[in-house]
Amino acid sequence: MGLQLNEIRQISKKGLNKGALSRAVRLQNRVKFHAETHVAANQVGGATADFLAFVKNLLPSDKYKMFTALMRYPLITNEVVSVCFDKLSRVFDGRNPVYSYNFESAELAADWDYYRRVAIGEPSVWSKKAWEWYKTEYNAVAIVDMPNGITEEPRPYFYFTPISNVIDIATTPDGVIKWIMTRQPRELVSVIDDEYFRLFKSDKSGEPAELVEEIPHGLGYCPATFISGAPIALIDPIVRQSPLTKVLDTLDWYLFYSISNRHLDLYGSYPIYSGYAPNCNYINDTTGDYCDGGFLRDSGGHWHYDSAGQLVPCPKCGQKRIMGAGTFVDIPQPNEKGEEADYVPDMRNPVQMLSVDRNSLDFSQSEVNRLRESIITAVCGASEDVQGKEALNEKQIAANFESQTTVLGRVKRDFERLQLFVDSTICRLRYGDDFISASIDYGTEFYLDNIEQLHANYATAKQAGASTAELDALADRITETQYRNNPTQLQRAKVLSDLEPFRHMTVAEVVELFGKGAVSELEMKIKTHFGEYIRRFERENLNVVDFENTLPYYKKIEIINNKLTEYANN
């Protein structure tokens, strides 16, 4: 049942879920701190202060000051988060996606196909715009709305509103939005429930005051849904979960250790030197200035400062210090006078260098690397290059593959649910009861291996004596991965693989078999000159993809094979 006007005003004053919205914003800002790339601290927001407060509790004041000086933007965590989301974006490259929309007539189906591509921007709107929101504004809400004013035909659209723009919201225990109140441009407030789209002018306090427009939508549910499909806890359905939520603590430590490691590196480049304090008796007879520890004081004992605010060095001994970068620590000179009982000889070198401890350097760097791998593994299901760093057995490879597939499956379900909700709602608003149903499946197989690893797997299988069927499957996987973004080239590669004889043998191997009488001369000639024959065929006819594409596929392959045989016999 829709909200009454007096209910809307009461809700905006009291606030039903202000606490949950505040928690959602705070948690999302922590994620954005690591996920959103900025070039200056003032662009990041309150999460920077939270992180620095965490660091300040760990370090003494002088080290904290150095830490903040070394904390540069963009943050190093932006890079590792980018790696994670690049891996997760494979959900949009599924091998076997299915998009099904059912209408009462073919004309409406054609209209929807045009409308979704031109007016909504599908399918790229999900892999680009929606994906960017999912990375940094995962607690945002997708809202399907109608344009202001009356048009000849319904032209519904959707947009994302950040959780920080939500004034109040109500959900069922499982996170289905019952109504939502959001801030809009030009000091307007939008209220959407299961019956109406409403637009209000806001008063000075930002609360809805005067009703501007009211449009019934007839959906029977609120046309709004969260981008993220999972709450952080069942008792808190408004606070949603990001792929990064459970590694936020690790991301904080990764940033802390990465910056601390830079500080430690400085000691390797600019070590600490120590030496005897200068024993200088310089006095300026005219001004009364005198040397104290290599720097000048006036006759009243006050230090001299230059225009840059630095101590003025003694003209006699001030230049006999360390040259270049580094730190110099003065050590009192040994007592050469006094009673013999008071004399303590100093056997140290006059000037020494304190280098950084190698164990500390190694630990710091290894901890940075460990945290990085831990983040990528937790978010993506496998580390950045798990197969290239160590030899894995079949069970480990299978476990890594299953782990990655499980993680991608969660993200896939988020976007399938989101797109299905948006598309179905738009169709109901545009076509009414003439829209029957929709189903969206991003696919069940993803491109988890890079092309180099696939080639290595193929070579290993071939050397191990794998069957032709196994080699066919591996070769097809290589082709599909290599040309996944080029459907025409993929189709051509599949046709050529069906035409080439002895697909899994090299020319040298076929020639060797010919010498043993296991291969005919005709087969050897086609294998040896396969590329040349294909180019000749395409010069004389069409390319192998378009050639006789109205015939059954087997017939097309048969005709081309006959032509290749003719070339080999001439």
Return per-residue pLDDT of the chain as tens, 570 residues.
Answer: 677 777 787 777 777 888 999 999 999 999 999 999 988 777 777 789 899 999 999 998 888 998 999 999 999 999 999 999 999 998 898 777 889 999 999 999 999 999 999 999 999 999 999 999 999 999 999 999 998 755 678 899 999 999 999 999 999 999 999 999 999 988 899 999 999 999 999 887 777 888 899 999 999 999 999 999 899 998 999 999 999 999 999 999 999 999 998 888 877 666 666 666 667 888 998 899 998 877 899 998 999 998 878 888 888 876 655 544 445 556 665 655 545 545 555 555 665 655 666 777 788 889 999 999 999 999 988 765 544 444 444 555 555 656 788 888 899 999 999 999 999 999 999 999 999 999 999 987 776 566 777 788 788 888 888 888 888 888 887 887 778 777 788 888 999 998 888 888 888 988 888 888 888 888 899 989 999 999 999 999 888 888 888 889 989 999 999 999 999 888
Report the amino acid identity of residue 346.
D
If we measure between CA atoms, which residue out of 469, 471, 570 comes closest to residue 526? 570
End-to-end CA distance of the chain: 82
CA angle, corner 424, sides to 423 and 425, nearest 5? 90
Contact 182, 165 (CB under 8 A): yes
Q: What is the pTM of this model?
A: 0.72
Report the amino acid identity of residue 119.
A
**Cα gap 99→443, rounded to integer Å:** 10
Measuring CA to CA, how many Å separate 120 from each of 24, 114, 158, 221, 455?
A: 28, 9, 8, 21, 39
**Cα gap 272→327, rounded to integer Å:** 5
Rg (CA), the chain: 36
If we measure between CA atoms, which residue out of 126, 161, 156, 171 comes closest to residue 141? 161
Instruction: Estimate to the nearest angstrom the gap between the alpha carbon of 39 and the chain centroid.
Output: 17
Quickly count: other Cβ atoms within 10 Å of residue 459's Cβ: 11
Query: How many Cα atoms within 13 Å fall on the side-chain side of residue 208?
Result: 29
